[in-house]
């Protein structure tokens, strides 16, 4: 009887140990990835979307990107918590979406939130109406200011049309930066001052709204 009781007790211990080992070995899939990237691009621009996922077991992770243009591929394996960037190129204009999921060696995560991107031939926005004096004297140096934004946040250069001649392009500045330009009028009259912007890929904006300046001859009384 003692030997039988010892065997049953040993069997119970073995079963409990097996259950504990099985629970410890259970795999937990990676988290649903966080995906982010640009919302705008031009055709044939090289852009990058990033994905980030964590695996509770510390397993290596691979990422799968699916895009509405047919881009579907698994990445290589990376450590848990590694921020992976996927290079993408959209050749045509249009509105596209992209999402991603992650996997370890045993399980896949759910799909990420959907990211949307608008592909257009973006150019700088028309600059603000130039700001400067409303009356100047022939021969004096006059200063006007303006600034321009860009849908892709690219650097811009500004060019002023003084009404009697076209000025040169300024140096490139960050979008939204104030640009100062100077000019000398040699004849009296009313002139309209306007400006336009250009980015480093030579996309040019429309002209701004004009500002009127009166040029007077200081020698006349």
Domain residue ranges of the chain, discontinuous segments joined by +: 34-119, 135-216
- CATH of segment(s) 34-119: 2.60.40.2950
In contact, 29 and 105? CB cutoff 8 Å: no
Token digits of residue 92: 């045509």
What are the Cα distances from residue 174, in Å, to 3, 66, 178, 206, 215? 87, 34, 9, 18, 32
- Taking only the tens place, the pLDDT of each residue in 192-203 is 999 999 999 999
Fold (topology level) of 135-216: Immunoglobulin-like (2.60.40)
- Pairing mode, if any, of strands 46-52 and 135-137? unpaired
Q: Over the stretch 63-102, which tens digit does the pLDDT of each residue have?
A: 999 999 887 889 999 999 999 999 999 999 999 999 999 9
Q: What is the pTM of this model?
A: 0.75
Contacts of 66 (CB under 8 A, 6+ apart): 72, 98, 99, 100
Residue 21 parent element (H or E): helix 2-25
């Amino acid at each position: 009887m003692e030997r039988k009781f010892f065997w049953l007790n040993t069997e119970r211990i073995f079963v409990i140990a097996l259950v504990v080992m099985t629970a410890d070995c259970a795999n937990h899939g990676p988290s649903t990835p966080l995906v982010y990237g640009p919302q705008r691009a031009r055709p044939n621009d090289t852009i990058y979307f990033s994905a980030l996922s964590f695996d509770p077991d510390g397993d290596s992770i691979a990422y799968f990107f699916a895009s509405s243009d047919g881009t579907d591929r698994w990445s290589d394996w990376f450590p848990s918590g590694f921020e992976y960037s996927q290079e993408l190129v959209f050749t045509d204009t249009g509105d596209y979406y992209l999402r991603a999921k992650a996997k370890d060696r045993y399980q896949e995560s759910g799909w990420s939130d959907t990211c949307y991107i608008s592909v257009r031939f973006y150019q700088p926005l028309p600059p603000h109406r130039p700001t400067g004096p409303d009356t100047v004297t022939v021969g004096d140096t006059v200063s006007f200011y303006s600034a321009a934004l860009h849908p892709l946040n690219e650097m811009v250069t500004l060019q002023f049309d003084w009404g009697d001649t076209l000025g040169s392009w300024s140096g490139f500045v960050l979008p939204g930066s104030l640009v100062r330009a100077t000019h000398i009028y040699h004849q009296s009259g009313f002139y309209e001052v306007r400006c336009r912007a250009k980015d480093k890929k030579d996309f040019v904006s429309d002209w701004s709204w004009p500002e009127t300046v009166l040029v007077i001859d200081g020698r006349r009384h």
